[in-house]
Structure 1
Amino acid sequence: MAKPTLNEFVTARIAAGNLSEDDVINVRRYVYGDMAVSVEEGEALFRLNNADITYHDTWYELFPEAILDILVHQAKPEGYVSEDKAAWLVNQIMADGHICGKTELDAVLHVLEKAREAPESLEQFALRAVADSVISGKGPTRSGLDLKPGVIAEAEVELLRRVLYAGAGSRGVAISKAEAEVLFDLNDATIEAENAPGWSELFAKAVANYMMAMSGFTPPSRKIALERENWLEQPGGFEGGLGGFFKKMFSGGVGGIRDAYGDTPDPFTARGNEMLAEIAANEVVTEDEASWLVERIGRDGILHENEKALLRFIREESPNIHPSLRPLLEKV
């Protein structure tokens, strides 16, 4: 009797309603039998994951690992996620009509954290998925625990931080306007909730990062990567590794960005000095940035505590505040 195909095996397991540890081992043999994971095999894995059956714990390790291999480790050049592959991932996630279950979110985060470069749209998709889950009380943020609609718990704060760090590693350090808008939407939706203390700090620093650190470290283009694919592994890289560089840069706000580039040794010193000059210029809050912030903060006519924290952070870090922000700053 011929061995069933992967799709046949998946169909049988879905009909049975469960995936045992032995089944997960068999799935791994199917997809890694030729030492690579094809797009078609990835689609079969999504079909199995979307079935909402009972899964052995090892499934939650295999699924993100396989998706990571498809999008990042098997990419040419390795580590660079194309727009097409990112769109494929989002389409697979949305195929069952649900916005990103926990296993799928883990897969997206694995991709963002391991990729040298990924489309910004993928990171925004993950950020929005977490925000929507917090607001609705349904979704991928905490496995095995009930979500309380409209409340940001510490687990969600750390997950949002992880998404933002992942976006920094794959795309650049500066928070984008689109990311800042998502964070403001989430803040507006949970403004009166008993949120975790860490949310106020994350919100303030992330939005201030967008306003005052518009420029940031950017990975090389795909074209350059084809010529210098191992550039991150060259001697003299960032102290503490690239992840530590980005974490220090982001977690310390604008001061952290300066400190991070101050630690940058050759051959990156020249670029680091350029970035320090750009960041110093961008610390000045411009008229457009100030207008955007005034509009966002003033939507409900009330200056809330998280927004006060943001304004205090800007007042402390920015050497030149635009006049349109001064009336708001006088209230904090």
Structure 2
Amino acid sequence: MAKPTLHDFIETKISGEHVSEDDVVTLRRYVYGDMVVSLEEGAALFRLNSADLTFAPDWYELFPEAIGDILVHQARPQGYVSDENASWLIEQVGLDGRVCSRTELEAVLHVLEKARKAPEHLEQFALRTVADSVISGTGATRSGADLVPGVIADGEVELLRRVLYAGAGCSGMAISRAEAEILFDLNDATVESENAPAWLELFAKAVANHVMALSGFAPPSREVALAREDWLNAPGGFEGGLSGFFKKMIGGGISGVRDAYSDQPDPFAERGAAMAAEISVNEVVTEGEAGWLVERIGRDGVLHENEKALLRFIREESPNIHPDLRPLMEKLD
């Protein structure tokens, strides 16, 4: 009698109710038995993941690991995700019409975090997936939690930050226009909500990073601009860490940005000092920047507190305010 294949085993498990720890061990043997994980095996794992089953905890480690090995570690050249493989991943995630945060989104993030370079559309897909789930109250970030649709909670802020931060490993040093647009869309959609305070911080820091890039400045890497965990234990606690950084960056204008990045402890200090030395020569908001900001801020007809913080940043430190921005500046408190 022929030995059951991976396909046979998965079909048997789909007809049941639960994938046990022993089942995960068996799956690992099937997938890694020949030391190579194929796209066909990856598609089989996606099929199992999409079934209406309960899973042992080890499944949530095996699934992202296997997908990452397919698209990153076994890629040629290693570490570079091709356009075709990125499209394959997006297609697999969307086959059942929903995204599960503990597996499918985790697999996408695992790929982005491990890759040396990945197509921009893969990261934008992850960011848009999280943003859409925030607005709808279902999907990737909910995972059974009783959260309110249209409200950005702390956990969702951290997930958004993680998606943005993952782009640093894919040669996306600055926040892109597409990413900034997604953040603006999410901000507009949740303007009436009581969002977590951390959302304002992330939004303003990320968009400021993008504006710096527009002006020709080599902006702080995402590692520096978006990381939180290394600051939470800084001297002075939260106030001295992330909160202190944000107050310097936004409240202190250009000089605050210089101070904020220069003051960061290792491993950011050396990089921060070089960035701080460059910031002072890029204080002018160009016509291109102004046009984009005016269109983007005015799209929903509401001037949000997050957007006011950005405008104050520009007003206080730019030597020449572009005329297109003056009507918005006049609306500031």
Give TM class, smaller chain. Answer: 0.7 to 0.9
| Partner deviation per Cα, 1:228-252 (whole Å, 9 max, x = no partner) | xxxxxxxxxxxxxxxx964224457
Q: Percent identity?
A: 66
- 1:331: which partner in 2? 331
Return the offset for 1:197: 0.2
User: CA separation in 2, counterparts of 1:319 and 1:35?
Assistant: 60
What SS does structure 2 have at the residue aligned with 1:133? helix
Asked if the contact 1:204–1:313 (Cα under 8 Å) also holds between the matched residues in 2, the reply is: no
- 1:180: which partner in 2? 180
Return the offset for 1:312: 2.4
The alpha-carbon distance between structure 1 residues 249 and 74, as it changes in their structure 2 partners (threshold 3 A), is same
User: CA separation in 1, counterparts of 2:261 and 2:198?
Assistant: 23
Describe how 1:147-226 pairs up with structure 2 within 5 A.
147-214=147-214
Describe how 1:1-12 pairs up with structure 2 within 5 A.
1-12=1-12
Query: Is residue 248 from structure 1 mapped to residue 224 from structure 2 by the alignment?
Result: yes
- One-letter amino acid of the counterpart of residue 302, structure 2: I
- One-letter amino acid of the counterpart of residue 116, structure 1: R
User: CA separation in 1, counterparts of 2:269 and 2:181?
Assistant: 30
TM-score by length of 2: 0.81
- 1:74: which partner in 2? 74
- 2:131: which partner in 1? 131
Aligned length: 300
Which deviates the most, 14-23 or 143-152?
143-152
User: CA separation in 2, counterparts of 1:36 and 1:62?
Assistant: 14
Return the offset for 1:70: 0.6
What SS does structure 2 have at the residue aligned with 1:16? coil
The alpha-carbon distance between structure 1 residues 201 and 249, as it changes in their structure 2 partners (threshold 3 A), is closer
User: CA separation in 2, counterparts of 1:211 and 1:100?
Assistant: 33
User: CA separation in 2, counterparts of 1:288 and 1:102?
Assistant: 40
| Partner deviation per Cα, 1:84-137 (whole Å, 9 max, x = no partner) | 110110011111122465411001111111111100000000000000000000
- 2:270: which partner in 1? 263
User: CA separation in 1, counterparts of 2:90 and 2:302?
Assistant: 37
Return the offset for 1:299: 2.6
Describe how 1:65-104 pairs up with structure 2 within 5 A.
65-99=65-99, 101-104=101-104
Asked if the contact 2:127–2:182 (Cα under 8 Å) also holds between the matched residues in 1, the reply is: yes
User: CA separation in 2, counterparts of 1:280 and 1:111?
Assistant: 36
- One-letter amino acid of the counterpart of residue 12, structure 1: T
| Partner deviation per Cα, 1:273-312 (whole Å, 9 max, x = no partner) | 8x965x6655432112212211222233332212212222
User: CA separation in 2, counterparts of 1:141 and 1:107?
Assistant: 14
User: CA separation in 1, counterparts of 2:28 and 2:318?
Assistant: 52
Return the offset for 1:186: 0.4
Structure 2 unmatched runs, 5+: 228-244
User: CA separation in 1, counterparts of 2:192 and 2:180?
Assistant: 19
Asked if the contact 1:63–1:103 (Cα under 8 Å) also holds between the matched residues in 2, the reply is: yes
The structure, 1 or 2, with the larger RCO (C-alpha pairs under 8 Å, 6+ apart) is 1
The alpha-carbon distance between structure 1 residues 45 and 298, as it changes in their structure 2 partners (threshold 3 A), is same
RMSD over aligned Cα, in angstroms? 2.8
Asked if the contact 1:315–1:329 (Cα under 8 Å) also holds between the matched residues in 2, the reply is: yes
Structure 1 unmatched runs, 5+: 219-243
The alpha-carbon distance between structure 1 residues 216 and 9, as it changes in their structure 2 partners (threshold 3 A), is farther
